[in-house]
Amino acid sequence: MAAPPPIRVAVVEDDGVTRARITQSLASDPELTLVGEYATAGAALTGIAVRPPDVLLVDLGLPDMPGQELIRVVARQYPACDILVFTAFGDEAHVLDCLEAGARGYLLKGNLSHDIGLDVRDLKAGGSPLSPLIARHLLKRMEKPAPKDDAERLSPRETEILNAISRGYTYAETAGLMGISATTVNTHLRRIYRKLAVNSKTEAIFEAQRMGLL
């Protein structure tokens, strides 16, 4: 039986030293082949259009575009590409934003093993490589108890607004769809945040989906 073709990997990292470290590790793995290394999101999008990878490793602190936005674009245009974040940002907001954008794994640079090829192969096999701190963030979110009091539940209008926001509509577009003002949309969102005990749109969407409200 013929061996499967190598997994095509591309790296987006603006720091030359880190990029060299990652690409050298990937190049030493016979099951992987490096098809691109980029210092900016713009260069990555140009290169991916010519040589699309199976796995894209993305840093978040890029000079020309937030890494989260690059993830969103690649996930939309190249759905067969699995995206793995590697970054210094380990806070919950960044994690949730990247996973919502389409990332399938999240590694912290300080905890990257020398053999990152293991994480790439795990991702391509259907796994979700996560640094321990990131896994704890997600477990903490899952352990959060759902509201028991009906008064804490979202109203039909609040659910409708959050559903529109989760589908990518802006606040102004949501207001237009529902025949209300943008100020009213913001008022409803503040109530949603309070009821769900969150502080951002991304957290509200994640929590509402976890609770089965969306």
Q: Are the CB atoms for 102 and 71 separated by under 8 Å?
A: yes
What pLDDT shows up at residue 31?
A: 94
pLDDT of amino acid 111? 57
List of E strands, 76-161: 82-87, 105-108
Structural domains in the chain plus CATH codes: 7-142 (3.40.50.2300), 150-210 (1.10.10.10)
- Furthest CA-CA distance within the chain: 64
Digitized pLDDT (tens) for each residue of the chain, 214 residues in all: 667 899 999 999 999 999 998 999 898 899 999 999 999 999 999 999 999 999 999 999 999 999 999 999 999 999 999 999 999 888 888 888 898 899 999 998 875 555 788 899 999 988 888 887 787 767 666 665 555 444 457 888 999 999 888 887 888 889 888 889 888 998 899 899 888 888 777 788 888 877 777 7
Question: Which two three-digit tokens encode residue 51?
Answer: 């040589």
